[in-house]
């Protein structure tokens, strides 16, 4: 990287214009499960991108979910974001978009509509956009069921994937993410009258209790592996021995080896009660984004931040998954958490620090340029 200092200012852009763009996206509510709302959001996001970037996106609808892609030449740097949120339509009535005392608020502003706007403005500020691709998906909050293959295909030949998910505390980028597995454990027993002849039954609730204790014990705190039984359902009536039970299990693992260990252990479980049957369905949704996937990019980002005169950039590992897990999982160098600085994701206090937006856009712009030139200027 050249020693010549660069500026953290982004040319031809004012913070008021950026905030207005964020407001346009936040005011268009886009819960992941609402197809009509997602289509409206895709329209608003596409129009915004066309105005900022001077190019219309390719609209890709998979299983009814709209995704948007801007390509400038053959992709070498992929910017990833999503326009869906966890907030149901009507949330704006209770939590309206607004800015007060330098803090921007509104459902979905932090996770991650500000990041979407930042990606557009960063690319628009580049001297040369050749080799840059922006992919904005519509189902990330669901685990990217329709967009995962699209993401992996777009990233496969890229030198880097930069994920515009919100930053960690204090603006730290995310250098590692746990892999995510979600299972359903289905238990079959045999119904009987709970008062007249319970001994004729096979109690699926009791079998589920045995399994829950065994499964919870698969976690490994030292390895950073969490195994958490969550949703639970059993039985049909209070006076009937339950013939069926079902519960969900959430698994988070730092390494692929740990993820695979838990997967093998779950599938090796058998029933404790005679006559009960156990079936394990579903499994890994995303592989871990290990630190090795981000090490080089994080070093580049720290150098860029220093060159811009910004505060030292920190990197942290987090438990939640993102589309960065998918790009890292196929071997593409990935750096996550490059989006908004703020907090309160998925909560009523969701917010973005406005003064940090231009700095993050400048960091992203210069990091893209650095990757495209291999570290030279």
Q: Specify the CATH number of the domain 15-177+288-372.
A: 3.40.630.10
Residues 6+ apart with CB under 8 A from 299: none
| Domain spans in the chain, listed from the N-terminal domain onward | 15-177+288-372, 179-286
When the pLDDT of each residue in the chain is averaged and rounded to a whole number, the result is: 94
When pLDDT is cut at 50, 70 and 90, the band that residue 14 belongs to is confident
Which residue among the candidates 21, 29, 111, 140 is catalytic per the annotation? Answer: 140
* Largest CA-CA distance found in the chain, in angstroms, rounded: 86
**Mean pLDDT, range 86-113, rounded to an integer:** 97
5 and 309 Cβ atoms separated by less than 8 Å? yes
CA atoms lying within 13 Å on the CB side of residue 275: 12
84 catalytic per annotation? yes
Under the banding of pLDDT at 50, 70 and 90, the label for residue 2 is very low
Mean pLDDT of 64-88: 97
Instruction: Give percent of the chain with pLDDT exceeding 70.
Output: 96
In the structure, what pLDDT confidence band is assigned to residue 127 with cuts at 50, 70 and 90? very high
Q: Note whether 26 and 113 are within 8 A (CB).
A: yes
Of residues 7 and 313, more confidence is placed in 313
Residue 12 has pLDDT above 50, yes or no: no
**Tell me: the pLDDT tens digits for 284-310?**
999 999 999 999 999 999 999 999 999
Residues 239-274: pLDDT tens digits? 999 999 999 999 999 999 999 999 999 999 999 999
Which residue out of 29, 84, 141, 165 is catalytically annotated?
Answer: 84
Q: What is the pLDDT of residue 1?
A: 40
Residue 133 CB partners (closer than 8 Å, separation 6+)? 69, 70, 71, 72, 75, 77, 78, 79, 154, 158
- Quick one: CATH architecture of 179-286? 2-Layer Sandwich (3.30)
């Amino acid at each position: 990287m050249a020693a010549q200092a660069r500026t953290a200012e982004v040319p031809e852009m004012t913070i008021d214009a950026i905030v207005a763009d964020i407001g346009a996206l936040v005011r268009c509510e886009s819960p992941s499960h609402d197809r009509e709302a997602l289509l409206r959001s895709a329209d608003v996001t596409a129009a915004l991108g066309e105005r900022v970037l001077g190019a219309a996106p390719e609209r890709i609808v998979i299983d009814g979910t709209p995704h948007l892609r801007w390509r400038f030449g053959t992709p070498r740097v992929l910017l990833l974001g999503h326009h869906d949120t966890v907030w149901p339509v009507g949330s704006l009535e209770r939590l309206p978009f607004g800015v007060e005392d330098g803090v921007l608020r509104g459902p979905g502003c932090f996770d991650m509509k500000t990041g979407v706007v930042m990606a557009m403005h960063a690319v628009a500020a580049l001297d040369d956009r050749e080799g840059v691709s922006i992919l904005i998906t519509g189902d990330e909050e669901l685990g990217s069921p329709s967009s995962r293959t699209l993401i992996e295909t777009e990233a496969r030949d890229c030198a880097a994937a930069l994920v515009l998910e919100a930053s960690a505390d204090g603006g730290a980028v995310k250098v590692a993410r746990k892999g995510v597995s979600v299972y359903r454990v289905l238990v079959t027993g045999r119904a009987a009258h709970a008062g007249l002849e319970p001994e004729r039954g096979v109690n699926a609730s009791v079998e589920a209790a045995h399994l829950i204790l065994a499964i919870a014990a698969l976690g490994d705190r030292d390895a950073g592996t969490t195994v958490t039984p969550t949703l639970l359902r059993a039985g049909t009536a209070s006076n009937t021995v339950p013939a069926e039970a079902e519960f969900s299990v959430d698994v988070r693992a730092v390494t692929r080896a740990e993820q695979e260990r838990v997967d093998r252990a779950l599938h090796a479980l058998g029933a404790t009660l005679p006559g009960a049957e156990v079936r394990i369905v579903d499994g890994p949704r995303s592989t871990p984004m290990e630190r090795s996937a981000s090490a080089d990019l994080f070093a580049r980002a720290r150098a860029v931040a220093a060159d811009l005169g910004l505060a030292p950039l920190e990197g942290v590992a987090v438990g939640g998954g993102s589309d960065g897990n998918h790009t890292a999982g196929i071997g593409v160098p990935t750096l996550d958490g490059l989006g908004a600085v703020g907090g309160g994701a998925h909560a009523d206090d969701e917010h973005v620090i406005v003064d940090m937006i231009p700095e993050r856009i400048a960091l992203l712009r210069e990091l893209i340029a650095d990757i495209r030139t291999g570290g030279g200027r």
